[in-house]
Structure 1
Amino acid sequence: MTPLASRSRPGSPPDGALLPDPLPPLTSALPRQPWPGPAGPRLWLVATAAHQETVTRYAPLVLDPAELARAEEFRRPGDRATYMCAHVGLRRLLGAHLGIAPRAVLVARAPCPCCGEPHGRPVLPGGRLHFSLSHCEGLSLIAVAATPVGVDIEPVPAPETVMEAADVLHPAESAELTALAPDPGAAAFARVWTRKEAYLKGIGVGLGADPSAEYVGSGPVPSAPAGWLLADVTVPAGHRAAVALRW
């Protein structure tokens, strides 16, 4: 695995200063996406299998009590391990960017754009650094950016799942998938869905909003809603991922 990309930035604290004992890198940096200009997000991938043993040992030193309690709620060991790896990796990245210990990172919730209640996207105090986290069993995707950002990673679903869920997409997206004879393509559906969920997480509403309201497209090039940039992210086979950035 490659070292944390933030470690190479001038002024970043050395890795060993963040914990009583140095914690091996938990993330591999993904290539920068082709954003117009220098303000694009930085992306990292966390592989659960590579770090599960280390994270189990260090999680009590990194995660806050609420995160530890949430981890215990997962019934499946694989889901629990992925959650802990994702959140330990996120805290270490944010701590390195902010120059503080990972457990000292304070995360709040922005007001929901729909109702104003405090269950919008996770935010850091000050608003100068934004992040997003998504995980499925075995993999987690993290984005850090200077403006609001959203990411999503999903396994490519079974064909029957596509048939059941395609009607919740934008009508034009559903038509595009229907045109993929003889059956809607599972990979194409996953591409649409990750783009859509990345955008909805970026604006802070998640799946509480109607997924059919915005068109993001199923083709090779995303169609980003106004004021946003969208890109697919290259991840391991059998998965699809996307990132959305406000600009």
Structure 2
Amino acid sequence: MDDVRELPAAGPVRLWLVTTDPASTPPGDGAGVLDAEESRRAAAFRFDRHRVRYVAAHLALRGILGERLGRAPEDVRFTRLACPGCGGPHGRPALADAPGPHFSLSHSGDLALVALAPVPVGADVEELPSVKVAEDLTAVLHPRERAELAALAGPEERRLAVARAWVRKEAFLKGLGTGLSRGTDRDYVGVRAGSPGAPDGWSLRDVPMPEGYTAAVALGPEA
């Protein structure tokens, strides 16, 4: 997979960066490899470039997991765990017929990030927001994070700090299995570079990304 590159490990987490740029991604709809739910989601995209990015990310995830499990990508089977917040069948994705590894997939713009770990894991990659979007997101952060942002010098520094906090939150909430339904003002993750906070039992790491992107990975306790 020429468009998939393994990154330096973040502790026990293995990470891969996937290029999903439609201009450099081979054409195809994933037929015969993606399952019915993935195919349904791919077909629902209004714009071809979004569909191509989605398919490329999910094919990469299947290839990485298939290599780990010793099976073809199309033979990797997924399920959803129960949501820890409400008990509904929309929690963290998991392998349907294998005990591990735990995994997480995130995609934004022309990049996707895949994480594999021996314990619950969440990954998030995002394109950097505009100053306006960053200002809007500030209102839904934890009170301590808003205070930290208010102490920063200018809008550009705050923009980068908000992006940093947001991917940390998304990574944690994905690893937890609730998604954004838990709320983004409930858990403190911090905004400063190199020193993420972490909810009890979890660890957070910032992941270096190409210019214009930011990413983080969250590692949970033993399942």
Fold conserved between structures, TM > 0.5: yes
Q: 1:210 aligns with which of 183, 189, 193?
A: 183
Alpha-carbon shift at residue 161 of structure 1 (Å): 0.8
Moved over 2 A (4+): 49-54, 125-128, 181-184
Q: Where do residues 39-54 of structure 1 align in structure 2 (5 Å cutoff)?
A: 40-49=12-21, 52-54=24-26
Q: Which residue of 2 aligns with 1:31?
A: 8
Residue type at the aligned position of 2:167: T
Q: Where do residues 161-200 of structure 1 align in structure 2 (5 Å cutoff)?
A: 161-183=133-155, 185-200=158-173
How far apart are the structure 2 equivalents of 1:131 and 1:43? 10
How far apart are the structure 2 equivalents of 1:85 and 1:53? 7
| Structural RMSD (CA) | 1.6
The structure where helix makes up a greater share of residues is: 1
Unaligned runs of 5+ in 1: 1-23
Alpha-carbon shift at residue 50 of structure 1 (Å): 7.5
Q: Secondary structure at the match of 2:107?
A: strand
In the superposition, the TM-score normalised over structure 1's length comes to 0.84
Q: 2:209 aligns with which of 204, 219, 235?
A: 235
Q: Which residue of 1 aligns with 2:86?
A: 115
The structure where strand makes up a greater share of residues is: 2
* Cα 1:58–1:210 shift into 2, 3 Å: closer
Q: Which moved more, 1:76-85 or 1:195-204?
A: 76-85
Contact 2:22 2:52 in 1 (8 A): no
Q: Which residue of 1 aligns with 2:43?
A: 72
Unaligned runs of 5+ in 2: none
Contact 2:34 2:58 in 1 (8 A): yes
Alpha-carbon shift at residue 52 of structure 1 (Å): 4.9
Q: How many residues align?
A: 218
Identity of aligned residues (%): 45
How far apart are the structure 1 equivalents of 2:24 and 2:209? 19
* 1:103-150 alpha-carbon deviations (Å, 9 max, x no partner): 111100000101111110101134331000000121100001111000
How far apart are the structure 1 equivalents of 2:184 and 2:63? 32
Q: Secondary structure at the match of 1:168?
A: coil
